[in-house]
Chain A
């Protein structure tokens, strides 16, 4: 069902992928932050991870640690994380509860700062950016799906989805058009005017996903985006991610506990006790859009 919607966007997506930096008209109103991530996507790397050598790293962390001081106790949520994520990656992060997945996602999403270590986003040291620049990045480069949704209660879902576009200075009409499209993509075309607190958990999760997609960001960071979804809807969301990844070259990183969800990714990073304990490329990952992969 989402596949059809996406297919209609295909020509546009492919066109953009072939353009150089200079010609690139950013999808999101490019206010300072360029959409360079998507632009340098090389066509050759689109559908498989073979030509790693020419792929551009978008996320590079070196020795990232995050410690929380709780009274006298020091808690190491992350202790030395080195990861490199390339343009066009589709990555699942797995690990037990409390292993530091959300902490890592928050840092990668520029919502939080590491205690030590460096983080380069698109080649730029995040530590050197000021708050306004970070806000711009969060607005235009990154779409973040929170583990706890963080929707505005008593606000229609279409308004919820439209919020990032307000800060991107997108006009009202364009805003509602794009918000409606994003909600249709996640299968909520009939729930545009429901208030967030009138939706089921899974529907709320999908509104949160639509809000992350609406700015057409280069990177999607999703903290357990399918945690509240049944396997069918989960597969549909995975199909959506796979399609966005394949057709628009979006870099997608998400956290999951479900190995079947992870099997739809090109790459699975395993984390335990704040350390990376595994990083495997999956060459022949499953196609979620075929729909039958989940059915037992």
Chain B
């Protein structure tokens, strides 16, 4: 009987082709929007997760200034700095750390072959690549000995190579950073864009070289200490993270002579905290996008109810006839419910196809990875079925409760 009703529904919907398609469109757009927006939201989440895990897990980072809440550390208020001595003290005093690195970064004028450009130059320790989980492209990275010798060697990011060595082999070329001559010894593997900009637009030199040869005028605090941007420590495991964080705090508070009632003038972040903080934000974002899209699904549902009500009124005589030839009320109810649900389910399935296509299109044109998750698809389809059921029930009940002879006489 269900099968008969389904066949009947299909025939009726086909007989009213244009109207059925338009009604379905509401649901299709709703479901499509839900799928696409959820895919974008999930894509953002995955992207951010990948960003932080590619930066290395179990990472603890120390930066100057007080983070004003929120991801990315917000603005850094106080002018206090973290210094090379802070770094040494932390490395000496903190346990549970497998590796560590530090950097001091500033913009510098980069000159090659009379070509001039502004490049972000990172003075980093030799351990930086391992701690940040960055791969080499070609050539070599500098070593401890280069740092001790304050060697004038530079490793370039792919973007810089593309800009300044469009059709040349960069290795062993001589370039100038803020007027200081450097030899190119390596190129980093591409990392792509991050939340904070192009990660490949960089030039790395030994930390000591940066401090003393390239940025000598900016590198010192009024006290004469050498500044750092970030200190990074890799903990032995996930559990050590909190202890390490506390440890660093204790050391720095003493070194910075902070009274008990004063807040830290530095910020200690762990990668997990960052992931969580961003995850919370992107989770809200995804839910928000989903909610917006659901509204269109709701509107689609109201469209279905509207059309079904019109249909019940239009087909009053048909309903009367069906009851007159022996259709029980429940069957009439089911006939209209099945019609509504079939309409919304079909609309939903087409919506899934369009939604997935939309997500893929965004991926293609915005070169941004979207993630279509099966639960999201099932949710959207299930929801559309529910919409059909919910908005179909009122018209269907109206149809089923008609008295046969009154319905037959309806004009």
Contacts and interface: CB of A to CB of B under 8 A. Distances in A.
B315 to A, nearest CB: 9
Interface stretch (A3-11, A119-127, A164-172): A164-172
A131 B328 contact: yes
A168 B322 CA distance: 12
A146 interface: yes
B135 interface: no
A111 B328 CA distance: 13
Given A111-B405, A112-B405, A167-B331, A152 B318 contact: yes
A233 interface: no
Contacts of A80: none
A193 B329 CA distance: 29
A139 B8 CA distance: 18
Contacts of B324: 109, 111, 138, 144, 146, 150
Q: Do most interface residues of chain A lie in helix, strand or loop, or is the interface mixed?
A: helix
B325 A144 contact: yes
A106 B326 contact: no
A166 B329 contact: no
Interface string B203-227: 0000000000000000000000000
Given A111-B404, A112-B405, A166-B4, A150 B321 contact: yes
A139 B321 contact: no
A30 to B, nearest CB: 13
Contacts, number: 58
B354 to A, nearest CB: 30
B386 interface: no
A109 B323 CA distance: 12
B180 interface: no
A152 B321 CA distance: 9
Contact of B408 (A135, A136, A140, A150): A150
Contacts of B330: 132
In this complex, the member of A132, A146, A150, A169 whose beta carbon has the largest number of chain B beta carbons within 10 angstroms is A150
Interface string B1-32: 10010001001000100000000000000000
A167 B4 CA distance: 9
B68 to A, nearest CB: 69
A219 B327 CA distance: 18
A210 to B, nearest CB: 12
B1 to A, nearest CB: 6
Contact of B329 (A132, A144, A154): A132
In this complex, the member of A135, A144, A150, A155 whose beta carbon has the largest number of chain B beta carbons within 10 angstroms is A135
Interface string A133-154: 0011011100010100010101
A167 B325 contact: yes
Contacts of B408: 111, 146, 150
B186 interface: no
Contacts of A111: 324, 404-405, 408
A163 B322 contact: yes
A211 B405 contact: no
B320 interface: yes
In this complex, the member of B325, B326, B331 whose beta carbon has the largest number of chain A beta carbons within 10 angstroms is B326
A132 B328 contact: yes
A146 B408 CA distance: 10
A139 B329 CA distance: 13
A16 B26 CA distance: 56
B26 to A, nearest CB: 25
Interface in B270-327: 317-318, 320-327
A166 B6 CA distance: 12
A101 B38 CA distance: 65
Interface string A188-226: 000000000000000000000001000000000000000
A168 B326 contact: yes
Interface in A69-90: none
Nearest to B3: A172
Nearest to A112: B405
A152 B328 CA distance: 18
A150 B317 CA distance: 8
Interface string A44-82: 000000000000000000000000000000000000000
Contacts of A138: 323-326
B326 A167 contact: yes
Contact of A131 (B1, B321, B322, B329): B329
A150 B326 contact: no
Contacts of A168: 326
A63 B404 CA distance: 23
Nearest to B329: A131
Contacts of A144: 324-325
A235 B118 CA distance: 105
23 contacts: A106-B405, A109-B324, A111-B324, A111-B404, A131-B329, A132-B329, A135-B326, A136-B326, A138-B325, A139-B325, A139-B327, A140-B326, A144-B324, A146-B408, A150-B324, A152-B318, A163-B321, A163-B322, A163-B325, A166-B4, A167-B325, A167-B327, A168-B326
The 3 A-B pairs with the shortest beta carbon distances in the complex, nearest first, are: A139-B326, A167-B326, A164-B325
Interface of B: 1, 4, 8, 11, 15, 317-318, 320-331, 404-405, 408
Given A111-B324, A164-B325, 6 more contacts: A135-B326, A136-B328, A138-B324, A138-B326, A150-B324, A154-B15
